[in-house]
Amino acid sequence: MSGGGLLVAGTTSDAGKSVVTAGICRWLVRQGVKVAPFKAQNMSLNSFVTREGAEIGRAQAMQAQACRVEPTALMNPVLLKPGGERSSQVVLMGRPVGEMSARGYHGGRQEQLLGTVLDCLERLRGTYDAVICEGAGSPAEINLRRTDIVNMGIARNAGLPVLVVGDIDRGGVFASFFGTVALLSPEDQALVAGFLVNKFRGDVSLLEPGLDMLHGLTGRRTYGVLPFRHGLGIDEEDGLRVSLRGTVRESQVAAPVGEDVLRVAVCAVPLMSNFTDVDALAAEPGVVVRFVDRPEELADADLVVVPGTRGTVRALEWLRERGLADALRRRAAEGRPVLGICGGFQVLGEHIEDDVESRRGQVDGLGVLPVRVRFAREKTLTRPVGEALGETVEGYEIHHGVAEVLGGEAFLDGCRVGQTWGTHWHGSLESDAFRRAFLREVARAAGRRFVPAPDTSFAALREEQLDRLGDLIEQHADTDALWRLIESGAPTGLPFIPPGAPA
């Protein structure tokens, strides 16, 4: 017998679907329910490697953590990794299967994947008591409905009830709720059970008359009003939408343990991927993280991070155009700390031979690390464990570039020259003892009297964050009604709201 299910859709991208899905998952697992997350198709430059070596979206990995289960490729069978405005790498069941334009994907390839997606969902529902699915964008994207496999397409085929989340902080939430339902076909509307308001500020009693009117207009109830909370964002999905400034999770920097703070500048390279690597730095008391795109913004930085990217050669060009390349070379020559991660490690090397990603052939790197990189067609997807600075380090690798290290001091799979460090390992800074040792090195080189906190546990902070999401659902949603939806499906007799989907 298949377990229960629910699709969390949204009126827009960034309405809070990922956060709500994670919150529902954590609430359920605390009730003793065996639950798993699912997102049929994800577009994200932030990805993760499962233990079996499959690449999935980081949001689904985080939701699996909310469920207290190990993430697998079943939870995100289709991952699209943008390589520009019009094309993406298609990752199917954790493995890349090629590059495709948006027109080509929506022109037929997407429909071909429906069987795979439904099979994955059914396998999860056969194993778990409940599967909480996350939609993508809006379910009312009428231009894409015919080929949809992630919103109403999956809901219709799997008989899932749908909860529509709206971000009231943006405004227009009533119109968004009503319009979302009214642009769906009668068959799709029959599965939309109701709404959930996200990011509300103020007195809920002032909102309630509007919710009553919305119920009268649509015949659908609101299942909860979640208050606005700072710092609740789990790993973002779409790196293309990241602003260059102020993008670290509204984190409030705690007072430093030592006399100084430590300032970290992250170069906001194009197609920035797995920028979540710096979250562990931002979690440290006294560490201030910001994203930058001008060379003068590196002047007061104690550490500069060049993060991962889906376009290494494009990132190199961007760094040169902006004057950041010269600034990075000067820092390296002066012995001021620089850390390159994955694509950021590659740009710090001497040469890049790329006939795969950019197809630009041989390109000169910044030349600050004795490394030569050749892009292989096969993608490296591993979960390595090693040692650096006398501490155990765990990470994950996602890259086509194969690095030949020609000198320097060994550092994970890369190298270190002076205070310039490079590695393909994502997630290494989540290893607490290693992160503290690395920050002590950075502080010493920068001349800062910064002392890492002795007890910061990044894993524990993530758990606290997920518990806060579970608390939001438990305290501000009608959990009895939510469970009935998950167990029994959408209520019968929901009214049709005209005009419905266009023919």
Which residue of the set 399, 400, 424, 426 is catalytic? 426
Name which of 4-13, 117-126, 226-235 the model is least confident about. 226-235
Instruction: Kindly report whether the global pTM for this prediction surpasses the value 0.75.
Output: yes
Residue 215 falls in the annotated catalytic set: no
Mean pLDDT, residues 155-160: 96
362-396 tens-digit pLDDT: 999 999 999 999 999 999 999 999 999 999 999 99
So what's the pLDDT on residue 249? Answer: 39
- Tell me the C-alpha to C-alpha distance, in Å, between residue 334 and each of 47, 110, 299, 368, 446: 34, 51, 12, 12, 11
Q: Are 169 and 41 in contact (CB under 8 A)?
A: no
Instruction: Band the pLDDT of 243: cuts 50, 70, 90.
Output: very low
- The answer, yes or no, to whether residue 232 has pLDDT greater than 70, is no
How many C-beta neighbours within 10 Å does residue 503 have?
Answer: 4
Instruction: Band the pLDDT of 410: cuts 50, 70, 90.
Output: very high
Structure tokens, 382: 């591993």
Name which of 8-17, 235-244, 479-488 the model is least confident about. 235-244
- DSSP string computed for 67-118: HTS---GGG-SEEEEESSSSEEEEEETTEEEEEEEHHHIIIIIHHHTHHHHH
Residue 342 falls in the annotated catalytic set: yes
So what's the pLDDT on residue 233? Answer: 57
- The answer, yes or no, to whether residue 290 has pLDDT greater than 70, is yes
302-349 tens-digit pLDDT: 999 999 999 999 999 999 999 999 999 999 999 999 999 999 999 999
Q: Please give the single-letter amino acid code of residue 392.
A: T
| Cis? peptide before 499, omega within 30° of 0 | yes
Name which of 134-138, 233-237, 411-415 the model is least confident about. 233-237
Which residue of the set 67, 342, 399, 424 is catalytic? 342
Give the whole-angstrom CA distance, residue 25 versus residue 133. 10
So what's the pLDDT on residue 294? Answer: 95
- The answer, yes or no, to whether residue 463 has pLDDT greater than 70, is yes
CB-based burial, 142-151: b 16+ in 10 Å, e otherwise? eebbebbbbb
Name which of 10-14, 97-101, 146-150 the model is least confident about. 97-101
- The answer, yes or no, to whether residue 90 has pLDDT greater than 60, is yes
Q: Are 111 and 144 in contact (CB under 8 A)?
A: no
The DSSP 8-state label assigned to residue 246 in this structure reads: S
So what's the pLDDT on residue 110? Answer: 73
Mean pLDDT, residues 200-211: 94
61-73 tens-digit pLDDT: 999 999 999 999 9
Instruction: Band the pLDDT of 108: cuts 50, 70, 90.
Output: low
Instruction: Band the pLDDT of 240: cuts 50, 70, 90.
Output: very low
Q: Please give the single-letter amino acid code of residue 26.
A: R
43 exposed, middle or buried (CB, 10 Å; 0-12, 13-18, 19+)? Answer: buried
- The answer, yes or no, to whether residue 164 has pLDDT greater than 60, is yes
